[in-house]
Amino acid sequence: MKIFSKAQIYAGDTLTSERQKISSIELMERAGVQIFNWMHLRMQGAQVPIHIFCGIGNNGGDGLVIARHLIIHGYNVKTYIVDYNNKRSADFLAHYERLKGVTKAWPEPIHDPSDFPEIAPEDIIVDAIFGIGLNRPISKWVKDLFMHFRKSQAFTLAVDVPSGLFTDKAIENENDAVWAGFTLSFASPKLIFFLPETAKYTAQWEILDIGLDPEFLLTTETDAELIGKAEVLPNYIPRERFSHKGDFGHALIIGGSYGKIGAVTLTARATLSVGAGLVTTYIPKCGYTAMQASFPEAMVITDSHEEKITKINYNIKPTVIAFGIGAGTEGETLEALEHFLKENKTPLVIDADGLNMLSTKKSLLKYLPENTILTPHPKELERLIGAWKDDFEKLDKVKAFTKKYKVILIIKGAYSITVFNDKLFVNSTGNPGLATAGSGDVLTGIITGLLAQGYHPSVAAIFGTYLHGKSADLGALNLGFQSLIASHVIEYLGDAFLDLFLEPEPPAVEKSPEHEEKQKEA
Ligand SMILES: NC(=O)C1=CN([C@@H]2O[C@H](COP(=O)(O)OP(=O)(O)OC[C@H]3O[C@@H](n4cnc5c(N)ncnc54)[C@H](OP(=O)(O)O)[C@@H]3O)[C@@H](O)[C@H]2O)[C@H](O)CC1
Ligand SMILES: [K+]
């Protein structure tokens, strides 16, 4: 699913009005009605007090539409105008007039804390104060109103975005935005729903279709995309009946040190479990027996050193190499990496200590083959690109880094983001069960295994991250978050593949009798 920018959303609105010959007032009506429908379906007329706080722009206008429909349907509604600016938008004013047509209880203006209404914990707050139009710091009393919401403990439903969040920069204080229980966002998810510093302001979110122009939606290129099943499925490479293991590549996994052979085992198992034809591990001598005994499918080459990698010498022709898992950062291992990088032309995945070593000697980065995949967690990323002031600067720095070195980088997190060719691919699968030892080693293995089978490196990174999260999601259904460990993620890979081909659940909508008749005729 495309993640549109603020400018694209405004452009889409204008284009939709032109092509569908509807006014922006009617587009706002659509948006508000969608939210009303969402609420009405769940509330079924319940008389819970609903406090609708409207700003003075189009987000506020949406709030007025919601208020009008709730009032018409007999809900217990109180509407307020948060007067942070006297420049009311034309569409806001149009819907203000429409609201006046259905109630004598006109919205109450709020100018300062003395105007704040009492809100009980059982009440509902609709936050339609600021949308994507926020462009400068907010007045103190408006922030106080946000705090008033939080203190009330009432369920807060945000319209489009939680008020106070910017679309392109983080906020300095967590009291400067609304903390929403749910956000109903129009047409496209917003990037801020996926970034660690801004995602926390809404517990859940959902996208509402407001009928924007289909051609605009289809043809507009976005800088970011949310990756779900629909996005990964077209890339799946089916297996031919007469294929053999040579068709699916030979992966070489280089890593391990005394006490960290298990990490390489996890990576190698994941590589093979995702479909690579052959896997060889290159580990220090001390790991030989453990590897052979615990993972008989893998072949093993050992370094001359007992406890660490000191020289990378092998006489096989791997299709793809993963480097770094559990390797440590000792001087001799770094030297081995340097020699290896200067010679190597085989596609690469670099993880963990491999990344740490690159961070200590950045001059090695220029030897990475084009489209090498790097998989840092936040600390490793900071060592690699330096500190950032907020998530947006982090994304800019990663884009610049990937451009400079022509690499693909996965920013690991609750929503892992693959950065490739200036574009962000935001993964939608995964859960907190993945916060467990070795889950990164498994991800490296999955990506390596996909690369070995001939997936383009960008697809291997995006699809691999998706499968990794999906396995964890399916595993967590049986195990819960706490009991899920990295080995389970490998075990559930098969289910993650099968899930790609499961038919989506039919929508929970009753079919009309005519529809049933038509089906019979067909
Ligand atoms: N396709 C869609 O998604 C649709 C979305 N809709 C809704 O429209 C809003 C965006 O509305 P907009 O009017 O552009 O912006 P806001 O409502 O967020 O803000 C209103 C104006 O407030 C001014 N502003 C900005 N920051 C501040 C501040 N800190 N203090 C005071 N005032 C501020 C700013 O105007 P200026 O000219 O003064 O800069 C804003 O424009 C979107 O989020 C959806 O909810 C449509 O209803 C339908 C289509
Ligand atoms: K809002």
**Distance of CA 164 from the midpoint of ligand 2 (Å):** 8
The band of 245, judged by pLDDT with boundaries at 50, 70 and 90, is: confident
Q: What is the mean pLDDT of the chain?
A: 95
Q: Which ligand is nearest to the CA of 16?
A: 1
* Best CA proximity match to 373, nearest among 251, 193, 230: 251
Give pLDDT, residue 505.
60
What is the average per-residue pLDDT within 461-475? 98
CB atoms within 10 A of CB 393: 13
Q: Say what angle helices 24-43 and 58-72 make with each other, to 10 degrees.
A: 50
**Distance of CA 84 from the midpoint of ligand 1 (Å):** 12
What is the average per-residue pLDDT within 293-316? 97
Ligand 1 probe mutation, 85, 141, 161, 165, most atoms within 8 A of CB: 85
Q: Would you list the domain boundaries of the chain? A: 2-222, 232-499
Q: What percentage of the chain reaches a pLDDT higher than 70?
A: 96
Q: Which atom belonging to ligand 1 lies closest to the Cα atom of 159?
A: 45
Give pLDDT, residue 243.
87
Q: Are 264 and 284 in contact (CB under 8 A)?
A: no
CATH 3.40.50.10260 fits 2-222, yes or no: yes
pTM of the full structure: 0.94
Q: Which two tokens stand for residue 483?
A: 């009991």
d(CA 411, CA 418): 6
Ligand 1, atom 46, residue with closest C-alpha: 28
Residue 423 has pLDDT above 70, yes or no: yes
Residue 510 has pLDDT above 50, yes or no: no
* Best CA proximity match to 349, nearest among 437, 465, 259: 465
The band of 102, judged by pLDDT with boundaries at 50, 70 and 90, is: very high
d(CA 44, CA 447): 47
* Best CA proximity match to 264, nearest among 328, 359, 314, 348: 328
Residue 503 has pLDDT above 80, yes or no: no
d(CA 157, CA 204): 10
Give pLDDT, residue 455.
98
d(CA 222, CA 248): 33
Residue 241 has pLDDT above 80, yes or no: yes
CA distances to 212, 266, 331, 345, 351 from 438, in Å: 44, 7, 24, 28, 12
Q: Which two tokens stand for residue 264?
A: 């390489």
pLDDT digits (tens, 9 = 90+) for 377-404: 999 999 999 999 999 999 999 999 999 9
What is the average per-residue pLDDT within 188-198? 96
Ligand 1 probe mutation, 4, 59, 111, 166, most atoms within 8 A of CB: 59
CATH of span 232-499:
3.40.1190.20
* Best CA proximity match to 405, nearest among 373, 449, 443: 373
pLDDT digits (tens, 9 = 90+) for 307-344: 999 999 999 999 999 999 999 999 999 999 999 999 99
Domains 2-222 and 232-499 share a fold: no
pLDDT digits (tens, 9 = 90+) for 128-169: 999 999 999 999 999 999 999 999 999 999 999 999 999 988
Q: Which two tokens stand for residue 122?
A: 């059982």
Q: Are 376 and 357 in contact (CB under 8 A)?
A: no
d(CA 141, CA 144): 5
Beta strand pairing call for 224-227 and 423-427: parallel
Ligand 1 probe mutation, 18, 27, 92, 132, most atoms within 8 A of CB: 132
Among positive and negative, which fits the CA dihedral 441, 446, 452, 454? Answer: negative
